[in-house]
Amino acid sequence: MSAALHLRPTGFGLAFLILILLTLIGCVNYGLSLGYGLTFLLGGVWVITAAQAMRAARSLTLTVRPAGPAHAGLPASLNVQAQASGDSGTLEVRLRGQGRELRAALHVPAGGAALTVAFPASVRGPLTLQVGAWAQDRLGLWRAALPARPDPVTLLVWPAPESPVPPVPDRAAPGVGGDGHRGPGDEEFAGLRPYQPGDSPRQVSWRHVARTGQLLTRETDAARGHATDLHWQDAPGDAEARASRLSGWAQHLSALGTPFALTLPGTHLKAASGEAHLHAALNALATVDPLPAAPVPARGAARLVSHAATLVAQATPPTLLALAVTLAPGALRQPVWITLPIALLLAHALARVLPRPGRTLDPLPVWLLALLAVGGAAALIATQGTLLGRDAGTAFLGLLIALKTAESRSSRDGRILILLGLFMTSTHYFYSQGPLSALHTLISAAFLLAAAPAWIAPVTSGPASTPAAPGGEGRRTHLRDSLLGAGRLLALAAPLALVLFVLFPRPDRPLWQLPVQGQATTGLSNEISAGEYSNLAQNSAVAFRADFQGALPTPDQRYWRGPVYEAYDGRTWRQVRAPGRTPSVDVTGPPLNYTLTLEPSGNPWLLALDVPLTVPDGAFLTNAFQAVTPRPVTTRRRVELQSRAARLGVQEDPDRLAFDLQLPAGQNPRAVALAASWRGLNPEARVQAGLDLLRSGGFTYTLTPPLLPEQDRVDAFLFSSRQGFCEHYASSFAFLMRAAGLSARVVGGYQGGEQNGSYLIVRQQDAHAWTEIWLPGQGWVRVDPTAVVAPARVSAGLSTALTRPQAAAPTAPGTLKRLQLRLDAIQNRWNDLVVDYDGDRQSDLLTRAGLGGVGSTPYLLLLPTLIALTLLPALLLARRRARPSDPASRALHDLSVRLHLPRAPGETPTAYMTRATTQHPHLHAALQDVLNAYHAARYAPHPTPDTLTRLRRAVRNVRR
What is the pLDDT at residue 468? 47
pLDDT score of 326 more than 90: yes
| Per-residue confidence (pLDDT) for residue 518, from 0 to 100 | 45
Tell me the C-alpha distance between 229 and 176, whole Å.
10
The pLDDT of residue 517 is: 46
pLDDT at 877: 65
Half-sphere exposure of 479 (CA within 13 A, CB side): 19
- State the CB neighbour count (10 A cutoff) for residue 312: 22
Q: What is the pLDDT at residue 937? A: 81
Distances (CA, A) of 90 to 108, 112, 753: 6, 11, 58
Q: Supply the pLDDT for residue 109.
A: 78
Q: Is the pLDDT of residue 688 over 90?
A: yes
Between residues 465 and 272, which one has the greater pLDDT? 272
pLDDT at position 881 is 57
Confidence label for 303 from pLDDT (cuts 50, 70 and 90): low
CB 431 within 8 A of CB 635: no
User: Contact 642/550 with Cβ under 8 angstroms?
Assistant: no
pLDDT for 594 equals 93
Give 266's DSSP letter. T
According to the model, what pLDDT value does residue 794 have?
86
Q: What is the pLDDT confidence band of residue 180, given thresholds at 50, 70 and 90?
A: very low
Report in angstroms the alpha-carbon separations of 700 from 658, 717, 791. Answer: 32, 11, 12
Q: How confident is the model at residue 470 (pLDDT cuts 50, 70, 90)?
A: very low
Residue 611: cis peptide before it, omega within 30 degrees of 0: yes
Q: Which helix (H) or strand (E) holds 326?
A: helix 308-327
Mean pLDDT, to the nearest integer, of 738-758? 93
DSSP of 830-897, one letter per residue? HIIIIIT--HHHHHHHHHHTT--STTSHHHHHHHHHHHHHHHHHHHHHHHHHHS-SSHHHHHHHHHHH
Band (pLDDT 50/70/90 cuts) for residue 884 is: low
In the predicted structure, residue 635 carries a pLDDT above the cut 80: no
Task: Say if CB 885 and CB 878 are below 8 A apart.
Answer: no
With beta carbons less than 8 A apart as the criterion, state whether 767 and 759 touch: no
The catalytic site residues sit at 726, 768, 784
**Average confidence (pLDDT) over 141-151:** 85
For strands 744-751 and 559-565, give the pairing: antiparallel
**Do the Cβ atoms of 445 and 38 come closer than 8 Å?**
yes
CB pairs under 8 A, 24+ apart, for 42-45?
A: 42/16, 42/422, 42/445, 42/493, 43/493, 43/496, 43/497, 43/500, 44/492, 44/493, 44/494, 44/495, 44/496, 44/497, 44/500, 44/870, 45/139, 45/141, 45/449, 45/489, 45/490, 45/493
Please confirm whether the linkage preceding 164 is cis (ω < 30° from 0). Answer: yes
Confidence of residue 464 (pLDDT cuts 50, 70, 90): very low
- Angle CA 570–572–575, to nearest 5: 120
Q: Pick the most confident of 121-130, 175-184, 467-476.
A: 121-130
Helix/strand/coil percent split, the chain, to 5:
45, 20, 35
The span from the CA of 886 to the CA of 89, in Å, is: 20
Instruction: Identify the CA nearest to 131 among candidates 112, 159, 109, 150.
Output: 150
Q: What are phi and psi of 115, to 5 degrees?
A: -150, 140
Mean local confidence (pLDDT), 824-832: 87
- Is the pLDDT higher at 561 or at 190? 561
Averaged confidence pLDDT in the chain: 84
**pLDDT of 763 above 80:** yes
Check if the beta carbon of residue 473 is closer than 8 Å to that of residue 489.
Answer: no
pTM: 0.76
Q: Strand, coil or helix: what is 102?
A: strand
Angle between helices 924-939 and 945-956 (to 10 degrees): 160
**pLDDT tens per residue across span 772-807:** 999 999 999 999 999 999 998 888 778 787 778 777
Q: Where are the beta strands (DSSP E) in 182-334?
A: 182-194, 216-223, 228-231, 260-264, 267-272, 303-305
Residues 6 or more apart from 851 whose CB is under 8 A from it?
858, 859, 862
Percent of the chain with pLDDT over 70: 87
Please tell me the predicted confidence (pLDDT) of residue 778.
93
Q: Please give the pLDDT value at position 882.
A: 56
Question: Which residue would you say has higher pLDDT here, 903 or 182?
Answer: 903
Mean pLDDT across the stretch 31-37?
A: 89
Residue 146 Ramachandran class (φ > 0 left, ψ -120 to 50 alpha, else beta): beta
Cα–Cα distance between 898 and 878 in angstroms, integer? Answer: 17
CB contact at 8 A, 8 and 409: no
Q: Residue 520 pLDDT > 50, yes or no?
A: no
In what side-by-side order are the strands of the sheet with 113-120? 60-66, 75-84, 113-120
User: Which residue has better confidence, 173 or 602?
Assistant: 602
CB 140 within 8 A of CB 106: no
Q: What are phi and psi of 816, to 5 degrees?
A: -65, -40
**Opening angle at CA 367, ends 363 and 370, nearest 5:** 100
Distance, in Å, from the CA atom of 334 to the CA atom of 332, rounded to the nearest integer, reads 6
Of the ranges 19-28, 463-472, 797-806, 896-905, the best mean pLDDT one? 19-28
Whether residue 270 contacts residue 184, with contact meaning beta carbons closer than 8 Å, is answered with: no
pLDDT in the model for residue 905? 59
Please write the tens of the pLDDT for every residue from 568-580: 999 999 998 877 7
What is the reported pLDDT for 462? 43
The half-sphere exposure of 563 on its side-chain side, counting CA atoms within 13 A, is 17
For residue range 886-939, list pLDDT tens digits in order: 677 778 777 887 887 777 656 788 888 888 888 888 888 888 888 888 888 877
What is the dihedral angle through the alpha carbons of 33, 35, 36, 41, rounded to the nearest 10 degrees? 140
AA identity, residue 940: A
Q: 902-920: string of b/e by CB count within 10 Å (b at 16+)?
A: bbeeeeebeebbeebbeeb
Residue (of 63, 67, 133, 70) closest to 96 by Cα position = 133
* H/E stretch holding 60: strand 60-66
